[in-house]
Amino acid sequence: MSADDLDTPRAEIAATDRELVRLLARRMELSGRIGAIKAERGLGVSVQAIEEQVLARARDAAAACGVSAAAMEAIFRAIVQASVERQHKTGIERLQRGGGRVLLVGAAGKLGRWFAALFETAGHDVVGVDPVFAAEPRGSASATRGAGSGPDAAHPAERTSTRDIDRSRDATYATEHLSTRDADATGRTPRADEQDLDASAASLRGRDAAPAAFDARAGGPGIAPGADDARARRAATAFTRLADVPDLDAFDWILVATPLGATPAVLDELVLRAPRRATIVEVSSIKAALEPALERARRAGVSVLCLHPMFGPGKSAWGPLTFALAVRADEAREVELVRALLAHPYARVVAMPFAEHDRRMGWLLGLAHLSGMLFASALARSGLDAAELESTASTTYARQKATALSILGEDPALYLDIQRLNPHREAVYAAVADALAELAQLVRDGDREAFARCLARAREAIGSGG
């Protein structure tokens, strides 16, 4: 068969692809209409029974298409996912109830950019603060994009340099951004009882010369700044330092998405400015390290909410979003304030006592990360080449490898801090050691009944996953 013989069927395939795109666009339009109806009625987007019907029809049609049922299911599973995303997006646009002003501290980091995109989608006006903006003309398109852009957009150039930017800005936070002074930005001299805040901030600047990277960014590349110039122009100002922001109470919320090591000093600087109208929200993944700064804020009458997004900045904003809220005072009020900030109809805010947060995260984050690191570290001691392992990899191995790589591909300082700063880590480590010792002994003994009981207890502990 000559090359000319291939041209005709290839052209027909291209025409068929265009027809498929037209049909997919029609399907997404219908999904959007369904999403609008669900949003108006307060219904959930994902309906498992309906999705299973779609996948069953796809499997039944596989033979007619000359492909396997698994291949056809994979195609339609992707279509279902796109339809769910479209329904979520339509619901968000229909129900968005933003309109406030947000000062976003740490706006140029991956997590900061994710929040900026979310807030702009929700209708908030976003102003960014980040040392990275020192290299950008204030109000320039690139600087303002760092403080807000659409979640659909992508900036490949900035995405490829994200880690280098984050590392340099993390170090800068400890030396340049935190600027506690004898007099604050309004010219007011701190009272005598505020002097401990100056000492605290200065101590943190000296101690954390290179604080950890953003502490909730596991999970791949974030929502990069976008090309939507209309959205970018809404973020009219970008500041390098908090001290340059003239009036904190010009904002409804101040979201702190800085490196964990720098967050206490950022909170202290905010407390010195004593905003009364603005609500401060910090989003660290470990809360215990913030307790002294949070207590100083409480004594000063400054409101700080402790939020934790249970996902990395690679998470699509067009789906369900789960946030943990570590409650310090009035749960109902704090939940209400957080929901107003997020302005997202599919955000799930899980409230828990402040002291419970880190204990739970020790298992949800600490243990999950540890298992991935242990898997890869043990393989490094196996003496087997990666190519040898890959050549005969099982499905289970491939899944474990993917999970481990999602952890190992991130900044090591981030995962060190998640382990090191959690006060419950030793309980996790002890449980891991005990579990390994028990399983190893059961295997050595060949005790089938006890081994089965051990696995049954483990299944019960984590649930069925259904």
Q: Please report, for residues 104, 172, 261, 265, 414, the alpha-carbon distance to residue 169 in angstroms, rounded to integers and kept in the order given.
A: 15, 5, 12, 15, 14
Beta bridge partners of 126: 102
Handedness of CA 57, 63, 68, 71 (dihedral sign): negative
Question: What pTM value is reported for the model?
Answer: 0.71
**33-37, 46-50, 250-254: least confidently modelled range:** 46-50
pLDDT at 294 over 50: yes
SS3 content of the chain, % helix, strand, coil (to 5): 60, 10, 30
76 Cβ contact list (under 8 Å, min separation 6): 54, 55, 57, 58
pLDDT of residue 1: 57
- Per-residue pLDDT reduced to its tens digit, 367-407: 999 999 999 999 999 999 999 999 999 999 999 999 999 99
Superfamily of domain 97-356: NAD(P)-binding Rossmann-like Domain (3.40.50.720)
Give SS3 for 268. helix
Give the residue-averaged pLDDT of 264-269: 96
- Per-residue pLDDT reduced to its tens digit, 304-335: 999 999 998 888 887 789 999 999 999 999 99
Select from 263, 265, 139, 278 the least CA-distant residue to 203: 265
Position 457: which residue type? R
- Residue 104 phi, psi dihedral angles, 5° rounding: -110, 105
Task: Tell me how crowded residue 223 is: count the other CB atoms within 10 A of its CB.
Answer: 27
292 Cβ contact list (under 8 Å, min separation 6): 200, 264
Select from 181, 116, 172, 111 the least CA-distant residue to 148: 116
The CATH class of 3-94 is mainly alpha
Select from 109, 132, 118, 152 the least CA-distant residue to 342: 118
Give the residue-averaged pLDDT of 225-238: 44
Alpha-helical regions (H) of 274-351? 291-299, 331-342
Q: Which two tokens stand for residue 330?
A: 């009035």
CB 148 within 8 A of CB 119: yes
pLDDT at 219 over 60: no
* Band of pLDDT at residue 95, cut at 50, 70 and 90: low
CB 256 within 8 A of CB 145: no
What is the Cβ-side half-sphere exposure of residue 256, based on CA atoms within 13 angstroms?
32
Beta bridge partners of 323: 309, 349
Beta bridge partners of 281: 255, 305
pLDDT at 362 over 80: yes
Distance of alpha carbon 371 from alpha carbon 400, whole angstroms: 9
Mean pLDDT over all residues of the chain?
80
**When comparing pLDDT for 48 and 305, which is higher?**
305
β-pairing, 101-105 with 238-239?
unpaired
pLDDT at 223 over 90: no
Based on DSSP, count helices (H) and strands (E) in the chain, helices before strands.
Answer: 20, 8
H or E segment at 353? strand 347-353
pLDDT of residue 411: 81
DSSP symbol at 367 = I
β-pairing, 347-353 with 101-105?
unpaired
pLDDT at 235 over 80: no
pLDDT of residue 81: 85
CB 147 within 8 A of CB 127: yes
Q: Which two tokens stand for residue 310?
A: 């249970």
Position 60: which residue type? D
pLDDT of residue 396: 94
* Band of pLDDT at residue 209, cut at 50, 70 and 90: very low
Q: Please report, for residues 99, 231, 348, 358, the alpha-carbon distance to residue 126 in angstroms, rounded to integers and kept in the order given.
A: 10, 10, 22, 30
CB 111 within 8 A of CB 214: yes
CA 172 to chain CA mean position, Å: 22
Distance of alpha carbon 113 from alpha carbon 131, whole angstroms: 14
Distance of alpha carbon 393 from alpha carbon 389, whole angstroms: 6
